[in-house]
Amino acid sequence: MTPSVLSLPLAFDARAIEKRVGLILLSTDHSTEADFARLVAGPRVGLFATRVEYANPVTHENLRRMEPRLGAAAALLLPDEPLDAICFSCTSASVAIGDAAVEAAIAAAKPGVPVVTPPGAAARALSQFGARRISLLTPYTVETTSGIADYFEARGFDLASVICLELEDDRDMARISTASLIEAAVAATHGEAEALFVSCTALRSALIVADVEARIGRPVVASNQATAWACLGLCGVAPEPGLNAGRLFDMPFQLAT
């Protein structure tokens, strides 16, 4: 049968969904999409993801190798259409490459779009809590963790404790049980720390923030939780109720002035 063409006039919305968040993920990432699907996606916010080639182990050299690939990855996010935010979802790579260099690489393909990095979002979140003396927990090696520690010290944070788990493969980091993460986070929190930052987008730490806060009685910031909060803030969208994502999701996102 030959198809017939419906002659009714069609109305088109300006966008298929009101707000658009782009995700640039490592090729090995197991955790970010699930966290953003739970914390960010909703009736007003759509997620659009692409991946950048990455090879373990987590070393400064391997992390730096992603820099020249970021522009091509960003260009695949709804080509020729605007986004409200782009998140490069790797804490250690953002530190190794540098926030400014990450932003420049993405801006070459997506000019004018705000770029969110995990360490930048975490530093912003900790500052909004008023926390200056913090504890840091990472799954990385001592060498990679030292770079994360240097990043936060350079931004004026006093590190009460720095604890790492000495893992080299981000796929192993993603497999750490949430029960183990809770115990590691509690153990890593120094008695004098005003807050705890759990670094690494591979960790399923966004799931356990509220549980750790209940144990330590202080704010907890985790990489994917912080970037999700920042992306929602840049979209001007409040988090959905009942996410159980910790104190940060009760805190308004303040645009930089």
Tens of pLDDT, residue by residue over 161-208, are: 999 999 999 999 999 999 999 999 999 999 999 999 999 999 999 999
Q: What is the pTM of this model?
A: 0.94
Mean pLDDT value across the chain: 96
pLDDT tens digits for range 37-82: 999 999 999 999 999 999 999 999 999 999 999 999 999 999 999 9
- For the cut 60, the answer to whether the pLDDT of residue 233 exceeds it is yes
Catalogue the E-assigned strands of 35-154: 45-52, 85-88, 115-116, 133-138
List, in order of start, the domains of the chain with CATH numbers: 19-118+226-250 (3.40.50.12500), 120-222 (3.40.50.12500)
